[in-house]
Chains A and B, each alone.
Chain A
């Protein structure tokens, strides 16, 4: 993996509090180009907050998050100065995000949802944006539903539009936050298949997931978060093996052993 290469995403000593409650208590993490890293952990351990800090949907003050060497929320220089809104928008366009609750724009059709960023942020001409959007919607298996409104689509279809909307922007890294947890069980596979395909195509991904089996199969590394810290990490097999010496990890994984594995 070339560990001394600069990571695509480098997180160092990241701390984040909501009011008096510290939610992230010093996170270090690196994701290299082409890597798929899954984040697992009990609910409330700070996984969502971590992802949201990566594209500055949550403001972090302490620690550092760099994408391709650039600090996400702050300008370069000694006095840590917050980026302006336009600058932030430019930074955010480099990361794609797929949400647990889809968050499609309800007044726009599937293809318009995907086109919006291409036209307004990437400044593509309408026709070209449409072709790119259609291409991605076909890739996620929705070539026949491009003109449907979100309300006319199933949860699984909406989430695939969400994925197309994110990847069409050609982000350097894709952030996925429990993208199947809001779905009926029978719709989970169609979404995970799309993610698996993206992984095979070399998309760099940081994904929070409760699908332990999927994480094991599709990721290069798994990070186990507990109470705002990285409690264990490693390639899937190695991480699972650490359960013997890590009580919290063992307790977390045991819930899945009985049901899924």
Chain B
């Protein structure tokens, strides 16, 4: 074993990793927000629509879930602009892809959450004369939110890790930063040690933060 660990070069380029981490978080936050909107709209549509709409939504979910994320990233970034004459930056393209990806998972989460709202609560809403929209807003969604919060947190943590896929289209997030340092310093072991630790610390911080939020949410409500 004649490889001597030397972190000096890593620290010299640490801003690449730091900025990458910040971008990874931004990508994950944007994607969960847009994905949650996609998921919620489609889930509400699904539970109130007929067979055709359900089939189309299911097809979307199945497609996304059965195609590797990296392939989706390529399709959206290289494929779509080739077919239709429309260009977007790698970052925008990736946020779009990850949002669609998150949306497909969250449709399922929200749909089962909506269906898990006890019948009795919906009956009680009907009995006091709430309209279907009022029942959705004041009875079903609040209960669904409580049911789905843990799954939402888990999805966010996965999305944060999945942002590393953006490196394949040169979005300068954390993994891309690590690759850049590796190519320029050849300190492959050191850079991936530091990067892994950064993913772990951030991932666990998010986990504990969200679990804390969930507890508070449950206690308050």
Contacts and interface: CB of A to CB of B under 8 A. Distances in A.
A90 B127 contact: no
A99 B124 contact: yes
Contacts of B138: 105, 116, 120
A213 interface: no
B121 A85 contact: no
Given A107-B142, A120-B134, A101 B126 contact: no
Contacts of A120: 130, 134, 138
Interface string A71-109: 000000000000001100110111111010111111100
Given A101-B120, A107-B143, A55 B132 contact: no
A101 B122 CA distance: 13
Contacts, number: 74
Contact of B139 (A89, A90, A105, A166): A105
Size bin of chain A's contact surface? 20 to 34
Contacts of B123: 57, 97, 99, 103
A90 B129 contact: yes
A132 interface: no
B126 A55 contact: yes
A116 B128 contact: yes
B219 to A, nearest CB: 10
B124 A105 contact: yes
Given A103-B124, A107-B221, A89 B146 contact: no
B131 interface: yes
A89 B139 CA distance: 15
B128 A166 contact: yes
B129 to A, nearest CB: 3
Contacts of B124: 97, 99, 103-105, 165
Interface string A220-248: 00000000000000000000000000000
A165 B74 CA distance: 56
Nearest to B141: A107
Given A105-B139, A106-B143, A166 B121 contact: no
Contact of A89 (B118, B121, B130, B142): B130
Interface of B: 118, 120-121, 123-132, 134, 138-139, 142-143, 146, 221
Interface of A: 55, 57, 85-86, 89-90, 92-97, 99, 101-107, 116-117, 120-121, 149, 165-166, 169
Closest 10 CB pairs of A and B: A93-B129, A117-B128, A103-B120, A103-B124, A97-B127, A121-B129, A107-B142, A89-B131, A107-B221, A92-B129
5 contacts: A89-B129, A92-B127, A94-B129, A121-B130, A166-B128
